[in-house]
């Protein structure tokens, strides 16, 4: 019978020593040692702020959705949000326990499954507010929400192929994938989600080191597509026209901006907001405005700082990352989270046309809360690192020209195996 040898930090263990013999408690200790605890703390802080914000916004949404036959409890959405957050936290921790290889495999499977469901949405999807984005499989959800994080990781995996063979047409494959997803999203239609997928594709294409001339040509095609969307997609055209020239049919953005500024620097106080009662989707799309009215612009600034801190923390973690896949996956997931957050906040500030996007980790959400926690779980999984091993490359710093280092590799992450085979 093989016995476990004592663990010595930094010392390579015998190759025959099976990793599977580790107890679950030992695996949890390894996870806690390798996880980015600062990133986890920032995420939990945002979720805590979100819980308070949903409690403040819940009466407004409950009042608007109450009918003559049914009056919703003022804290109806708050109670439901707590339940969804608990499920989301379980999802986040469970996904973060995965190795990079398993996180990648899960993302590929999710990408295939959710893309398949996107094909079905136009036929069997549920229509809400003029858009057919939801599908009901025992639980109503948007396949695109679960596709977003899986897409970012899958795109990173595809673009990382070029480290094995520079002649592989990775950019063409990645572009075909994002083009397929964009076409399926516009059938719903979901212009805001399409922009997010395109933004992730662009960020990862640039970081992967593809030929900028080819990328410029593809961007030209994207611009032509956006121009065509303006003329062919009525909803997008109306919202852009309202943003540029003002309007009455889509003036919720102006109402959101006035609500956000109504509280001044310190806010009217919890439960004392008045303008929020007129806001559509106060607990989801326009929760940032509710925060401004009841808790003030200082609280809004704290929210912005927390998002910036998450982005900065991940980038700091990736500076010396030697695995190209992990670097691209971490950057893609961060671009997705940060992009959606700042688009939502710009909409609330009347600096961007309305897109119907929630504020991740803050807004109320059912399945969308699970999807965002899935994203964070994948981000925690791909940024896990053995603290006893030092990288010999500059990672993101090398790609951005901060120094000279040996070429990056796309080998599987073996950092934990060097200590725990």
What's residue 403's pLDDT?
45
Q: Which residue has the higher pLDDT, 349 or 44?
A: 44
What's residue 376's pLDDT?
96
Give the 3-state secondary structure of 98-165.
Answer: CCHHHHHHHHHHHHHHHHHHHHHHHHHCEEECCEEEEEECCCEECHHHHHHHHHHHHHHHHHHHHHCC
Segment 270-283 shows an average pLDDT of 84
* pLDDT range class, residue 231, cuts 50, 70, 90: low
Segment 336-350 shows an average pLDDT of 90
Q: Which residue has the higher pLDDT, 77 or 10?
A: 77
Under a CB-based contact definition with an 8 Å cutoff, are residues 300 and 348 in contact?
A: no
Convert the pLDDT of each residue in 142-199 to its tens digit.
899 999 999 999 999 999 887 777 778 888 888 899 989 988 988 887 888 888 998 8
Answer whether residue 284 shows pLDDT above 70: yes
Domain residue ranges of the chain, discontinuous segments joined by +: 33-64+72-399
List all residues 6 or more positions away from 228 whose beta carbon is below 8 Å from its beta carbon. Answer: none
Pick from 34-48, 60-74, 122-136, 143-157: least confident: 122-136
What's residue 229's pLDDT?
63
What's residue 264's pLDDT?
85
What's residue 32's pLDDT?
86
Give the residue among 157, 147, 207 at the shortest CA–CA distance from 180.
Answer: 147
Segment 51-66 shows an average pLDDT of 89
Segment 322-351 shows an average pLDDT of 90
Convert the pLDDT of each residue in 352-385 to its tens digit.
777 778 899 999 988 889 999 999 999 999 998 8
What's residue 177's pLDDT?
92
What's residue 415's pLDDT?
44
Answer whether residue 250 shows pLDDT above 80: no
What's residue 300's pLDDT?
93
CA 208, chain centre distance (Å)? 20
Answer whether residue 54 shows pLDDT above 70: yes
Q: How big is the chain, counted in residues?
A: 421
What's residue 12's pLDDT?
46
- Pairwise CA distance, residues 357 & 345, whole Å: 10
Give the residue among 411, 304, 408 at the shortest CA–CA distance from 359.
Answer: 304
DSSP letters, 182-238, are HHHHHTTT-HHHHHHHHHHHHHHHHHTT--HHHHHHHHHHHHHHHHHHHHH-HHHHH
Segment 322-340 shows an average pLDDT of 92
Answer whether residue 228 shows pLDDT above 70: no
* pTM of the predicted model as reported, rounded to 2 decimal places: 0.82
- Pairwise CA distance, residues 58 & 179, whole Å: 38
Q: Which residue has the higher pLDDT, 38 or 224?
A: 38
Answer whether residue 402 shows pLDDT above 50: no
Convert the pLDDT of each residue in 68-78 to its tens digit.
788 888 899 99
What's residue 339's pLDDT?
92
What's residue 420's pLDDT?
39
Mean pLDDT across the chain: 80
Convert the pLDDT of each residue in 74-97 to its tens digit.
899 999 999 999 999 999 999 999
- Residue 192: other Cβ atoms inside 10 A: 20
Question: 3 exposed, middle or buried (CB, 10 Å; 0-12, 13-18, 19+)?
Answer: exposed
Answer whether residue 306 shows pLDDT above 80: yes
Residue 371: phi and psi, rounded to 5, are -65, -40
């Amino acid at each position: 019978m093989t016995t476990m040898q004592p663990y010595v930090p930094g010392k390579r263990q015998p190759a025959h020593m099976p990793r599977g013999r580790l107890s679950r408690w030992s695996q949890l200790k390894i996870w806690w040692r390798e996880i980015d605890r600062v990133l986890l703390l920032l995420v939990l802080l945002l979720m805590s702020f979100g819980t308070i914000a949903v409690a403040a916004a819940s009466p407004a949404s409950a009042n608007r959705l109450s009918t003559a036959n049914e009056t919703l409890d003022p804290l109806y959405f708050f109670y439901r949000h707590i339940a969804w957050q608990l499920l989301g936290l379980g999802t986040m921790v469970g996904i973060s326990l995965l190795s990079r290889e398993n996180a990648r495999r899960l993302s590929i499977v999710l990408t295939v499954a959710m893309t398949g469901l996107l094909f079905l949405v136009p036929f069997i999807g549920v229509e809400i507010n003029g858009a057919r984005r939801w599908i009901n499989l025992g639980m109503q959800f948007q396949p695109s929400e679960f596709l977003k994080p899986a897409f970012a990781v899958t795109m990173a995996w595809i673009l990382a192929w070029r480290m094995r063979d520079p002649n592989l047409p990775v950019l063409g494959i990645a572009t075909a994938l994002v083009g397929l997803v964009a076409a399926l999203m516009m059938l719903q239609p979901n212009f805001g989600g399409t922009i997010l997928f395109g933004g992730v594709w662009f960020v990862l294409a640039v970081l992967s080191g593809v030929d900028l001339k080819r990328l410029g040509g593809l961007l030209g095609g994207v611009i032509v597509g956006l121009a065509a969307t303006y003329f062919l997609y009525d909803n997008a055209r109306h919202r852009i026209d309202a943003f540029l020239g003002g309007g009455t049919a889509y003036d919720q953005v102006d109402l959101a901006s006035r609500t956000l500024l109504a509280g001044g620097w310190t806010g009217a106080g919890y439960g004392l907001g008045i303008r929020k009662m007129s806001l559509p989707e106060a607990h989801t799309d326009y929760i940032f405005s509710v925060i401004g009215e009841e808790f003030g612009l200082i609280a809004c600034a704290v929210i912005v700082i927390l998002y910036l801190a998450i982005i900065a923390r991940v980038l700091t973690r990736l500076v010396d990352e030697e695995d190209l896949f992990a670097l691209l996956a971490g950057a893609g997931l961060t671009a997705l989270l940060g992009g959606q957050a700042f688009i939502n906040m710009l909409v609330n500030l009347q600096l961007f046309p309305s897109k119907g996007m929630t504020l991740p980790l803050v807004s109320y959400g059912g399945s969308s809360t699970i999807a965002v926690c899935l994203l964070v779980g994948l981000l925690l999984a791909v940024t896990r690192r053995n603290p006893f091993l030092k990288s010999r490359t500059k990672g993101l710093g090398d790609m951005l020209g901060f120094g000279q280092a040996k070429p990056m590799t796309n080998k599987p992450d073996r950092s934990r195996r060097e200590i725990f085979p």
